[in-house]
Chain A
Amino acid sequence: MKRSPIPAGALDREVAGGVRTDQKSPAHLAASGVTIAYRANAGSVHAVDALDLSVNRGEVVCIVGPSGCGKTTFLNAVAGFIPLSGGTLTLAGRPITGPGPQRAMVFQQPSLLPWRDVLGNVTYGLEMSGLLRGRAARERATELVGLVGLAEFAHSYPQQLSGGMQQRVNLARALAVEPELLALDEPFASVDAQTRELLQGELLRLCTRTAVTAMFVTHDIVEAVFLGDRVCVFGPRPGRIIAEFTVDIPKPRRSHVRRDPAFVNLVDRVSRALYAGADPEGADHVD
């Protein structure tokens, strides 16, 4: 209980503005010079500009940034939904050309099939990807449903579940396909604050347990620091990384780590970077 989770000086490895150069192994997910522009009704939108980012295997990287900074667009490109206008994006050495089960997405909306029960929804990803079917799929799904704490609700329909429980199902469905990369787009934005903290803790444990590589987009800085091995701060559009922080807080992280001075300090520095990027003149006005 007395153990301070954060070693002194652990938070000082901040890299401003770009790629970490001290990697030993080649990056699992590698984005280099990624530029995304698309046509919208009001002309062309330059959403992401020459973005470099690498995520190592088993790492959880959180992306924070102001609204409309292109962080979700970037995540969608990683998922394969949006083509790149320039640069390269590779996962495990292979370029990303379209959506695929090696990159599972968890959206802000649970997006569950209302006519399938919890188990049926968790097998859905396995069926679509053709990884497992029938009994094998159900066995894997049962395991995942238990892992997210919904064993008792395996045969309930999504409409019978609360928002937080639906997001657990969503998460289980994504983890069931054992993705190379788990891409999460503000998955806890629409659940209440207490459930959110609970789910954050569980997500962290699940990520550790399954050793999954994850990219987590959020606008909640505390959430980003709590979950991430690294936090990347996006500047206003066109999106690019304006600051990067390594979170050297050992895992498992308990809920109360959020009150730890070192944690609070890091949150403060991330928010300073975020607000400085959003408004270079007003960097010092951050409370």
Chain B
Amino acid sequence: MSTDTPIRPVARERLVTTRRTDNRTEKYLFGVTAVILVVALWELVAALRIEPVILLPGPVDVIDAFQQMFSSDTIWQDLGASGAELLYGLVLAAVVGIPVGMLLGWYRRVGYVFDPFVNFFYSIPRIALGPLLIVWLGIGLSSKVTLVFLMALFPIVINTTTGVRDIDPQLVRASRCFGGGDLQIFRTIALPGAVPFVLSGLRLAVGQALIGVFVAELMGAQHGIGLLMNNAGQQFQTATVFAGLIIFAVAGFVLTVLLRRAERHFDAWRS
């Protein structure tokens, strides 16, 4: 009909842009400079030999310790053992924790039943379950993976549950209004809405899992970075202890950066 005037499209400039203002190069510049300064200061203090090398090794000593470490073959066995404990435990925790968290978040009554147990295990120092796990599972890989798993599981479960429960009732109403069923609402609203929560749960889990690896190896092990650090400490090879610390830090850092990447990927709509 001629009466039907087309609708004027919205002008481009009315787009509301809320771009993050932080400058990336600035961030890296300041961060890297700070790290270099601290390491230099550390080396300075160590070189002045205010404290003996046994108490405070400098960065150069730590690099020496690394060279010594990697000149033997046992380091690869240690790295392999700790890496396996960490990755098996974390992957298992994610594989079990994410679906369980969704179940607890989605089915109100299942949540009511399991919430007290989840809260109990979250509140106790789970690391204290170590001796029990050794009694039950021995000092092999299984007891260590189980401890790492238990450490990592609860942050994942709790965050996932929260994410699914945090579902926006307005969106559910809109979905229902178009005839969306429970399963569709779960798939299109609860699941994507929970992704940021799941990822931050995983990030928390990485830290917990590293604690699990270290403590599990203290309780009896044949190989592992934690064990290596403990032995070095007993022999006052302090630089080697520092080297072990740095290995733990790098492992945690790499996993966290990967998860941050994933978070940013799934959060594209937020910017």
Contacts A156-B15, A162-B16; A104 near B192 (Cβ below 8 A)? no
Interchain nearest-CB distance for B99 vs A (Å): 21
The CA-CA distance from A278 to B5 in the complex, in Å, is 39
Contacts A115-B269, A177-B178; A252 near B3 (Cβ below 8 A)? yes
Interchain nearest-CB distance for A38 vs B (Å): 16
Q: Closest residue to B181 on the A side, CB-wise?
A: A128
Q: Verify A151–B14 contact, CB threshold 8 A.
A: no
Q: Verify A111–B173 contact, CB threshold 8 A.
A: yes
The CA-CA distance from A117 to B270 in the complex, in Å, is 11
Contacts A159-B270, A162-B14, A209-B4; A111 near B178 (Cβ below 8 A)? no
Most chain B beta carbons < 10 A, residue from A99, A115, A152: A115
Residues of A within 8 Å of B7, CB to CB, are 147-149, 202, 205-206
Q: Which residues B1-51 have CB closer than 8 A to chain A?
A: 3-5, 7-10, 12, 14-18
Q: Closest residue to B168 on the A side, CB-wise?
A: A111
The CA-CA distance from A26 to B3 in the complex, in Å, is 28
Q: Verify A208–B4 contact, CB threshold 8 A.
A: yes
Does A45 make an interface contact (CB < 8 A)?
no
Query: What are the interface flags for A101-115 relative to B under an 8 Å C-beta threshold, 1 for contact and 0 otherwise?
Result: 101110101010111
Interchain nearest-CB distance for A180 vs B (Å): 13
Residues of B within 8 Å of A80, CB to CB, are 177
The CA-CA distance from A13 to B3 in the complex, in Å, is 26
Interchain nearest-CB distance for B4 vs A (Å): 6
Query: What are the interface flags for A75-118 relative to B under an 8 Å C-beta threshold, 1 for contact and 0 otherwise?
Result: 00001110000000000000000011101110101010111110
Q: Which residues A253-272 have CB closer than 8 A to chain B?
A: none
Q: Verify B10–A152 contact, CB threshold 8 A.
A: yes
The CA-CA distance from A129 to B48 in the complex, in Å, is 75
Residues of A within 8 Å of B222, CB to CB, are none
Interchain nearest-CB distance for A198 vs B (Å): 9
Interchain nearest-CB distance for B8 vs A (Å): 6
Not counting A99-B176, A177-B178, a sample of 20 additional A-B residue pairs whose C-beta atoms are within 8 angstroms of each other reads A101-B179, A103-B177, A105-B174, A107-B170, A113-B189, A115-B193, A124-B174, A124-B178, A129-B180, A148-B7, A149-B8, A150-B9, A150-B10, A153-B10, A157-B268, A160-B16, A161-B16, A162-B14, A205-B5, A208-B4
Which are the 7 A-B pairs with shortest beta-carbon distances? A128-B178, A128-B180, A125-B178, A157-B269, A111-B174, A111-B170, A149-B9
Query: What are the interface flags for A150-173 relative to B under an 8 Å C-beta threshold, 1 for contact and 0 otherwise?
Result: 111100111111100100100001
Q: Verify A159–B8 contact, CB threshold 8 A.
A: no
Q: Which residues A127-161 have CB closer than 8 A to chain B?
A: 127-130, 147-153, 156-161
The CA-CA distance from A153 to B13 in the complex, in Å, is 11
- Chosen A-B contacts, 12 in total, with CB atoms closer than 8 Å, are A99-B176, A99-B179, A100-B179, A113-B188, A114-B270, A125-B178, A128-B175, A128-B180, A150-B9, A152-B12, A159-B269, A161-B16
Query: What are the interface flags for A192-204 relative to B under an 8 Å C-beta threshold, 1 for contact and 0 otherwise?
Result: 0000000000100
Interface size on B, residues (CB 8 A): 33
Residues of A within 8 Å of B9, CB to CB, are 149-152
Does B132 make an interface contact (CB < 8 A)?
no
Residues of A within 8 A of B (CB): 79-81, 99-101, 103-105, 107, 109, 111, 113-117, 124-125, 127-130, 147-153, 156-162, 165, 168, 173, 177, 202, 205-206, 208-209, 251-252
Interchain nearest-CB distance for A108 vs B (Å): 10
Does B171 make an interface contact (CB < 8 A)?
yes
The CA-CA distance from A111 to B7 in the complex, in Å, is 23
The CA-CA distance from A153 to B177 in the complex, in Å, is 25
Residues of B within 8 Å of A100, CB to CB, are 179
Q: Verify B179–A130 contact, CB threshold 8 A.
A: yes
Residues of B within 8 Å of A160, CB to CB, are 15-18
Does B77 make an interface contact (CB < 8 A)?
no
Residues of B within 8 Å of A148, CB to CB, are 7
Contacts A101-B178, A157-B269, A159-B270; A111 near B171 (Cβ below 8 A)? yes
Contacts A107-B174, A113-B188; A251 near B179 (Cβ below 8 A)? no
Does B184 make an interface contact (CB < 8 A)?
yes
Residues of B within 8 Å of A109, CB to CB, are 170
Q: Verify A251–B3 contact, CB threshold 8 A.
A: yes
